Amino acid sequence: MLKKLFGLDKKEKKQEVEMPEADGKDVFHSPANGEVVALSEVPDPTFAEKMMGDGVAVKPSDGTIVAPVHGEIMQLFPTKHAVGIKTVNGMEVLIHIGIETVNMQGEGFKAFVEQGDKVAVGDKLIEFDPDLVNEKAESTITPVIITNGDAVASMDKQENQTATAGETVIMTVTSK
């Protein structure tokens, strides 16, 4: 009775995301509005030299990061500067917002998802303050990395283009 009276019985329900069937091919859309560039343009050798995996990077034109693919949030870093998603085909993608942003300890970042959430292309994941990142970190450039490269049969990247978050295809990955 009290729950009903105070509206406590109406917990905010997470939107149910319908996952597509696994078909061995994941089409990744841009996680941000901005310019899609090669990983070699990332000012950090960990990413530029593909030590964490292969992929592309986006130079965001604003502070919204969306899901580039259907999947499940496998990890949301406590500092909210990075998020890991596992696709329906088993690809593991890391979206790392900016360079040296871990040192900001979450300042200027707001997450809209948590570990275990299912997401669809275009769902808002994180908002960040680009001006604050430019002031306190090295760059806002955002690598989009496939971290389990041993499961990749082929990767087709669409670099050197202007992208719209959740719409522009940046890479297609086929799993083994």
pLDDT tens, 42-101?
999 999 999 999 999 999 999 999 999 999 999 999 999 999 999 999 999 999 999 999
Distance CA 102, CA 151 (A): 28
In a domain, 5, yes or no: no
In a domain, 16, yes or no: no
In a domain, 80, yes or no: yes
Give the active site residues: 96
24 pLDDT band, cuts 50/70/90, is: confident
Contact present, 58 and 41 (Cβ < 8 Å):
no
Residue found under tokens 């300042």: 107
On average, the pLDDT of the chain sits at 91
In a domain, 125, yes or no: yes
CB neighbour list of residue 55: distance below 8 Å, 6 or more residues apart: 39, 93, 143, 144, 145, 146, 155, 157, 171
Contact present, 87 and 119 (Cβ < 8 Å):
no
In a domain, 8, yes or no: no
20 pLDDT band, cuts 50/70/90, is: low
Q: How many domains does the chain have?
A: 1
In a domain, 150, yes or no: yes
Give me the domain span that covers residue 59.
Answer: 23-175
In a domain, 138, yes or no: yes
159: domain CATH number is 2.70.70.10
In a domain, 119, yes or no: yes
C-alpha distances in Å from residue 34, one per residue of 14, 45, 58, 107 = 28, 22, 6, 22
